[in-house]
Chain A
Amino acid sequence: MTEIAVARPVAEVPRRTLRGLLEPVVMSVTPVLLAIVAGGILLTILGRDPLSFYGDILQQGMLESFGLQQSVVRMATLLMIAAGLIVAFRANLWNLGLDGQFLLAAAFVAGLAPSIVSSLGMTVGLTLCFVIAAVVGAVWTLVPAGLKARFGVNEIITTLMMNFIGINLANILVKGPFLTDAPGVPRTDILPLAERLPVLFDTRIHIGILIAAATILLVHLVMTRTPLGLRLRVLGANPRAAVHFGLRTKRLTLVAFMVSGALIGMSGAVSMLGDWGSFRADWNPGYGFLVVPLVFLARLNALATVAFVALFAVIQIGGEYATREADLPNDFVLVLVGLILFFMAITEFMRVRRERRLAFVTAGLASRLRRGGDDG
């Protein structure tokens, strides 16, 4: 049966044709459009005008100079997170503990940066802060990575648990050892503007965007060109084959998790050293889950995520204004993200019905969940 099913010659669609180039774009844009439409319907039900709502988003997120600058600044943080996610997702490891990794690293950076930068100077100090963030982020993946590598414990659950712990731990740090003496809301000492990441030209855009761009490019090259990238891809696509090919799957699992955590931790550093300069208690922008659908839409292609992250940063920055205008909670963005994921899965379903190419989610995801008993 299966033999027959695969025996039919599948026509190779040449990659260079217009259709071959356009199809992935259409496939990725469709869910976003559908989600925007569905979100608009929801807004209408709630008695808001979707057109003015989306208009506000565009206006504030992109068309006004200030908003545009804010969107670019936000992109820097989100791109770093996306880079971290791609590494883990390529290896088919669901690192969903990204908020914990992000916040914990941010808390450490915010707490330590003022004294480090003032004593070591800008260049060394800021660099050291990034290193600290990377280490904290990486360490926070160790338990899920270890449990996954050693016992095959489902990492979705463990990373989520570590997420909750990390969020609370970050608050404990901010309200405890890193608490500022200044009055007001509990927070860390504020890093003076002059000691933050330098800005570009005459804008509010800081060099975080350059760091993020370089990181994304590096991740792309590593994933497509190097042995490590291929090994992670093989592990992600077919873990049993990875063992057969002699890859050290346990070590690769650890590496993928730690690199992922380190990059996400560094995004916390970008956010603290560039955007905020201080960690306020109970702060949680919840960036993590918002980036997950974006990297799927980009099919785990690092370069393609840039476009989606840009779009999303605009929605987020503009959305803050638009939801305030519409007198709604800011969580509308969550609805959009959820809808994008739904429609992405459905679009994928429609496509798979037509042909079997280009998967959003790496193959072997499900087979990984099943233990033993797989004698093909």
Chain B
Amino acid sequence: MTTPDSTTPSRAAAPAVELRGITKAFPGVVANDDIHLTLRAGQVHSLLGENGAGKSTLISMLSGMIAPDSGEILLDGRPVQMGSPRTALDLGIGTVYQHLTLVPNLTVLENLLLGSSTSVMLDFHAARERFAELVARLGAAIDPDARADTLALGQLQQVEIVKALWRDTRILILDEPTSMLTPQGVAELQRVLERLKAGGIAIVFITHKLHEAIEIGDRVSILKGGRIVGALDEDELRSKTPEQLKARIVNLMFGEGADQLSGVAEIEIRPLTPDEPRDVSEEAELEVSGLSIDGGDDEMSLHDVSFVVHRGEILGVAGVDGNGQRQLAQAIAGQRPIHAGDIRLAGESLRRLGVPERQERGLRYLTDDRLHEGIVRDESVAMNMVLKRIGQPPFWRRGTIQPSAIDALAEELVDRYETRTPSIHTRIGALSGGNIQKVLLARELAFDPRLVIYNKPTHGLDVKTASFVRSQIREQASQGVSALVISTELDELLAICDRIAVMSSGRLTGIVENGQDAQARVGELMVA
């Protein structure tokens, strides 16, 4: 890849922004603790940390969304008060948020004019010129009159960057910008960042992927538990090999010998090499043939998707978010009507069966939307464990609920899945994301599963919980439970899957055996 320092201008030495002793606490949690950080013009500063490390809190303060409890932010050596997003924008700080913030039913130009128009009347003419200028600076090509919801994700992100640069921006913050890009898209982004650096802009690049942090950043700071636990400067990044850097960062984050953690895949430079080829049965457990789904206006449609998952096999589904993975999972689980094709489990067609019947036959679906789809927040942990078995014995008998049976199951599962909860009668909404995921995992894996669809099973989890989830998937597979693992983290799929299918624009573009060249081939298939 590129050598980051090749374009670093000498004037970059002056600090553009300096954070001094920034601290922010939320009820019960210190999200940022005494953060010191210096951003320089013409440099990319990578901020690396796992989920929950405090990255979002830090950028929320830089972009004026929240105010720090203590500490100062200095701009060009002068302390500034960052009370609102408007102040930040006025000071020349532009932010590209992880979750895109374009209004879908407005055009690109309207989105750019949002909040930036100084007069009551919208000046589309001037906006068009400014847009052309900035797009040229990025080296992109986007139709300014297209509605935002018609653009591809990569283009949307470019619009977001244009938006962040709109008002003479000197500091650009990118929050997990690669999370929804293909490998090619990441390369494209990197080129854009090079151009912006050359223009003297200071860039903050936030990521939870170690290799991106050191490839893209001119300097790297590592955040852990709300504190900066280490930093690598330009000299260190230049002088060491990627392997040395990796070892150093892993040690900074997890202490000596932490590379043994299987969950470290998330911050790995190179994916873990998969286990020796496992013994996978030739018997087909799940057969999907010619599956098509009509997504209507709002959702991705699926076209002619076919694949087989063998008994005890882990089949990964890679692809950029929003390419039909959720629709595929929902169709197999029975939550969504299918337009054409067939789904067979152990030879039996599931077409006419509803969600409960499919569950009874051993098909399970771990949803990607834990909070909004997976649980009922105000019910207890115990009740959430049985919400997929309402009315079934032994939890209900003669139409009446049996609390003791439910409690017994819940106690056992909470114990087996190491769930941290004050009690099984605690409202599940009060648990952390990781513990909620363990409850869901327990619910899906109880009562003899045959095939489990894991949709983004480690998304948003801390490294330890993510590692726990991955090891559960592997353990289940070794007992003959097949798995369909949908993930946007290619590294994760490379670490645990036997084969990897790739989805793009609602089609299955190919299936790759996991191995040495798998990563490159998956990347090619993503844009096929």
Taking CB atoms and an 8 Å cut-off, the chain A residues in 4-22 that contact chain B are 4-12
B151 → A minimal CB distance (Å): 15
Q: Which B residue sits closest to A248, measured CB to CB?
A: B354
Q: Which residue of A lies closest to B403 (CB)?
A: A225
Residues of A within 8 A of B299 (CB): 372
Contact, CB under 8 Å: B401 / A246: no
Instruction: Spell out B's residues near A (CB within 8 Å).
Output: 26-29, 31, 51-52, 56-57, 60, 104, 298-299, 333-335, 354-356, 358-359, 365, 367, 369-379, 387-388, 390-391, 396, 399-401, 422-423, 425-427, 429-433, 460
Q: A226 interface residue, CB < 8 Å from B?
A: yes
- Contact between chains at A10 and B372 (CB < 8 Å): no
- Chain B nearest CB: distance from A306 CB in Å? 23
- B427:A357 contact, CB within 8 angstroms: yes
Query: Roughly how many angstroms separate A9 CA and B369 CA in the complex, as a whole number?
Result: 22
**Cross-interface CB contact of A4 among B31, B399, B400, B422, cutoff 8 Å:** B31
Contact A7 B356 (CB under 8 A): no
Beyond the given pairs A246-B355, A376-B373, 20 more chain A to chain B contacts, judged by CB atoms under 8 angstroms and listed by A's residue number, are: A4-B26, A4-B29, A6-B429, A9-B422, A10-B426, A12-B426, A225-B399, A226-B400, A227-B399, A230-B387, A231-B390, A233-B379, A234-B379, A241-B375, A244-B333, A246-B354, A247-B390, A356-B429, A363-B377, A376-B372
- Set of chain A residues within 8 Å of B355, measured between Cβ atoms: 243-246
B373 surroundings in chain A (CB, below 8 A): 238, 240-241, 243-244, 376
Closest Cβ of chain A: how far from B266's Cβ, in Å?
15
Residues of A within 8 A of B60 (CB): 1
Chain B contacts of A356 at CB under 8 A?
A: 429-430
Task: Name B321's closest neighbour in chain A (CB-CB).
Answer: A375
Query: Do B388 and A246 have beta carbons less than 8 Å apart?
Result: yes
> B371 to chain A: which residues have CB within 8 Å?
376
> Is residue A3 contacting chain B, with contact meaning CB distance below 8 A?
yes
Give A374 to B99 CA distance when docked, in angstroms: 12
* A286 to B425 CA separation, bound complex (whole angstroms): 41
Q: Write the nearest CB–CB distance from B22 to chain A, whole angstroms.
A: 16
Q: Is the CB of B433 within 8 A of A3?
A: yes
Residues on A with C-beta less than 8 A from B356 are: 246
Contact with B along A222-242 (1 / 0, CB 8 A): 001111001101100110110
Contact assessment for A238 and B372 in the assembled complex, using a CB-CB cutoff below 8 Å:
yes
A375–B422 Cα distance when bound, in Å, is 29
- Given A238-B377, A245-B355, the answer on whether A8 and B427 have CB atoms closer than 8 Å is no
A329 within 8 A of B: no
Partner of B399, one of A5, A226, A238, A363: A226
* Chain B residues within an 8 Å CB radius of A237: 376-379
Contact partner, B427, options A10, A231, A234, A240, Cβ 8 Å: A10
Give Cα A49–Cα B281 distance, bound, in whole angstroms.
86
Asked if A241 and B51 sit within 8 Å, CB to CB, the answer is no
Cβ of A373 under 8 Å from chain B: yes
Q: Are B52 and A12 in contact (CB under 8 A)?
A: no
List of B residues within 8 angstroms of A246 by Cβ: 334-335, 354-356, 358-359, 388
Determine whether the beta carbon of A10 is less than 8 Å from that of B430: yes
From residue A9, how far is it (CB to closest CB) to chain B in Å?
A: 7
- Chain A residues within an 8 Å CB radius of B401: 224-227, 230
Nearest CB in chain A: distance from B247 CB, A:
28
* Complex CA–CA separation, A8 to B25 (angstroms): 12
The 8 Å CB contact of A3, one of B104, B422, B460, is B460
Q: List 10 A-B pairs, minimum CB-CB distance, nearest first.
A: A246-B355, A8-B28, A227-B391, A10-B430, A7-B432, A246-B356, A372-B298, A376-B369, A376-B372, A240-B373
Q: Are B378 and A359 in contact (CB under 8 A)?
A: yes
Chain A residues with CB under 8 A of B335: 243-244, 246
Q: With A and B bound together, what is the CA distance between A231 and B376 in angstroms?
A: 11
- Contact of A367 with B by CB under 8 A: yes
CB atoms of A244 and B374 under 8 A apart: yes
What's the Cα separation between A237 and B401 when bound, in Å? 19
| Residue of A224, A362, A375 contacting most chain B CB atoms (<10 Å) | A375
Which B residues are CB-close (under 8 A) to A5? 26
- The listed residue with most B CB atoms (<10 A of its CB), out of A8, A224, A240, A241, is A241
19 A-B pairs (CB sep. < 8 Å):
A3-B433, A4-B29, A6-B431, A6-B432, A6-B433, A7-B433, A8-B28, A8-B29, A224-B401, A225-B401, A227-B396, A230-B401, A233-B379, A238-B373, A244-B374, A245-B387, A245-B390, A356-B429, A376-B371
In the assembled complex, the Cα of A8 lies from the Cα of B390 at a distance in Å of 30
Chain A contacts for B429, CB-based, 8 A = 6, 356
Q: Compute how far the CA of A362 lies from the CA of B375 in the bound complex, rounded to whole angstroms.
A: 14
B359, A7: Cβ atoms under 8 Å? no
B431 neighbours in A (Cβ, 8 Å): 6
Q: Once bound together, how far apart are the Cα atoms of A359 and B376, in whole Å?
A: 14
Min CB distance, B50 to chain A, in Å?
A: 11
Min distance, Cβ B393 to any Cβ of chain A, angstroms:
11
Q: B387 to A241, Cβ gap below 8 A? A: yes
Closest CB in chain A relative to B154 CB, distance in Å: 18
Pairwise interchain contact A4-B430, C-beta atoms closer than 8 A: no
A contact residues around B51 at 8 Å (CB)? 3
Contacts of B369 in A (CB 8 A): 240, 375-376
CA distance A71 to B334 in the complex (A): 52
Report the bound CA distance from A248 to B51 in whole Å: 36
- What's the Cα separation between A11 and B430 when bound, in Å? 9
Q: For the complex, what is the distance from the CA of A4 to the CA of B334, rounded to whole Å? A: 33
**Residue of chain B at shortest CB distance from A15:** B425
Contact, CB under 8 Å: B29 / A225: no
Which chain B residues border A248 with CB–CB below 8 Å? 354
- Min CB gap B207→A, angstroms: 17
A18 to chain B, nearest CB (A): 19
CB distance from A374 to the nearest CB of B (A): 6
Residues from chain B with a CB closer than 8 A to the CB of A233 are 376, 379
A240 to B367, CA, bound (A): 11
User: A227-B391, A246-B359 known; A8 and B376 CB under 8 Å?
Assistant: no
Q: Enumerate chain A residues within 8 angstroms of B396, measured Cβ to Cβ.
A: 226-227
CA distance A238 to B369 in the complex (A): 12
Which of B335, B367, B373 has the largest number of chain A CB atoms within 10 A? B373
Which residue of the partner chain B has the closest CB to A235?
B376
Across-interface contacts of A363 in B (CB, < 8 A): 377-378
Complex contacts, B378 vs chain A, CB 8 Å: 237, 359, 362-363
| Complex contacts, A6 vs chain B, CB 8 Å | 429-433
Are the C-beta atoms of B433 and A373 separated by less than 8 Å?
no
Decide if B376 touches A241 in the complex (CB within 8 Å): yes
Complex CA–CA separation, A231 to B390 (angstroms): 7
Which residues of A have CB within 8 Å of B426? Answer: 10, 12
Q: A1-B57, A227-B396 are known contacts. Are A244 and B365 too (CB-CB below 8 A)?
A: yes
A241 near B372: Cβ-Cβ < 8 Å? yes
Closest chain-A Cβ to B431's Cβ sits at a distance in Å of 7
- Contact residues of A between 88 and 107, Cβ < 8 Å to B: none
Q: How far is the CA of A241 from the CA of B390 in the complex (A)?
A: 13
A356 to B27, CA, bound (A): 13
Chain A residue at minimal CB-CB distance from B391:
A227
Chain B contacts of A227 at CB under 8 A? 390-391, 396, 399, 401
Chain B residues with Cβ under 8 A from A374's Cβ?
Answer: 372
Residues of A33-67 contacting chain B, CB below 8 A: none
* Inter-chain contacts of A11 with B (CB < 8 A): 422
**Cα–Cα distance between A238 and B358 once the two chains are bound (Å):** 21
A319-376 contacts to B, CB under 8 A, are: 356-357, 359, 362-363, 367, 371-376
Report the minimal beta-carbon distance from A268 to chain B, rounded to whole angstroms. Answer: 29
**Given A1-B60, A3-B460, A248-B354, are A8 and B379 neighbors across the interface (CB < 8 Å)?**
no
Contact of B376 among A3, A10, A238, A371 (CB under 8 A): A238
